[in-house]
Amino acid sequence: MRRRVTLSINGDAVTREVEPRLLLSDFIRHEAGLTGTHVGCEHGVCGACTIRLDGAPVRSCLIFAVQAEGHEVRTVESLGTPDALSVLQQAFRDAHGLQCGYCTPGILMTMTAFLEENPDPGEEAVRHALSGNLCRCTGYQHIVDAVLLAAKRLRETA
């Protein structure tokens, strides 16, 4: 049993015939070919697969692609490019906020949304917002530094 589903991903309409049980994370990665979204646990804990669904950060392993029908999905590929990183991406590079980089796309999507709502966060607020994303490499300190640095730069250019 397959269903035709159309999602908007990073502004492009993507239409595929899929099984209703297909996870949104698998749709994004293997149907739309956007492999920047990573899968870490497939039970909604690690946050690596976080995307934005109509602007809200959402774990794409916890919903089916058919549930996202007609909704607006944004992935890490919608941020900057290697030659023109977003402010947050650049801050991650400057503050060494990533090591293996596997959890990074999910963290970028979570924190991009966070900074839109919290332009001047303190460290505690950043740590709370970050606590739903697991990173096994960095010990988080440089990620926190990166988010605070990005917030500062965004405020300065606002």
Partner 1 sequence: METRQIGRPLTRNEDPRLLTGRALFVDDVELPGMLHAAFLRSPHARAAIRSIDTDAAKARAGVVAVITAEDLGEYWQPGPLLVPPPPIKGMVFRQRCQVPLAKGEVRHVGEPVVMVVAESRYVAEDAVGDIVVEYEPLPPVIGLEAALSSDSPRVHADLPDNIAADVHQAKGDYAAARAKAAHLIRRRFTYDRGASNPMETRGIVAQWDHKAEKLTVWDTTQAPVFIRNGLAAMLGLSERQVRVVAPFIGGGFGPKMMMFYPEEVLVPWMALRLDRPVKWIEDRLEHFTATTQERSQVHDCELALDARGKILGVRDDFLMDTGAYNPYGLTVPLNSQCTLLNCYDVPAYDSRFRAIYTNRTLVTPYRGAGRQHGIFVMERMLDAAARELGLDRAEIRRRNLIPADAFPYHNELIYQDFAPLTYDSGNYAPILDKALHAIGYAEFAAEKAKARAEGRHLGLGVVCYVEGTGIGPYEGAKVRVQASGKVTLATGVGTQGQGHFTSFAQVVAEQLGVDVRDVEVTTGDTDVFDWGAGTFASRGAVVTGSAAHGAAVEVRTKILKTAAEHFECAEADLVLADGAVSIAGVPENRITLGELARLANPMRGAVKPGTVPGLEATSYFGPQMGATAAGAHAMVIEIDAQTMRPTILRYVVVHDCGTVLNPLILSGQIQGGVAQGIGNAFFEELVWTDDGQLLNASLADYLLPTALDVPRMDVLHTETPSPLNPLGTKGAGEGGAIPVGALFAQAIEDALDLPARGIEVSEIPLSPSRLWEICNPSG
Tally of residues, the chain:
158
Element containing residue 9 per DSSP (H, E)? strand 3-9
Distance CA 131, CA 127 (A): 6
User: Between 68 and 138, whose beta carbon lies closer to partner 1?
Assistant: 138
Among 2, 6, 41, 70, binds partner 1 (CB under 8 A): 41
- Please state, in angstroms and as integers, the Cα–Cα distance from residue 20 to each residue in 3, 13, 24, 68, 135, following that order: 7, 19, 10, 11, 31
Q: Does 83 bind partner 1 (CB under 8 A)?
A: yes
- Where do we find the tokens 């640095």? 149
- Please state, in angstroms and as integers, the Cα–Cα distance from residue 136 to each residue in 39, 47, 52, 99, 104, following that order: 14, 12, 23, 9, 11
Q: Does 108 bind partner 1 (CB under 8 A)?
A: yes
User: Between 70 and 96, whose beta carbon lies closer to partner 1?
Assistant: 96
Q: Smallest distance, Å, CB 6 to partner 1?
A: 21
Count the Cβ atoms, other than its own, within 10 Å of residue 97. Answer: 27
Among 99, 118, 153, 154, binds partner 1 (CB under 8 A): 99
Site string for partner 1, 1-40 (x = CB under 8 A): ------------------x-xx------xx--xxxxxxxx
Stretch that binds partner 1, among 63-71, 86-94, 113-121, 150-158 (CB under 8 A): 86-94
Query: Quick check: helix, strand or coil at residue 145?
Result: helix
Q: Does 155 bind partner 1 (CB under 8 A)?
A: no
Q: Which residues bind partner 1 (CB under 8 A)?
A: 19, 21-22, 29-30, 33-43, 45-46, 48, 75-77, 79-83, 85, 89, 92-94, 96, 98-105, 108, 123, 126-128, 130-144
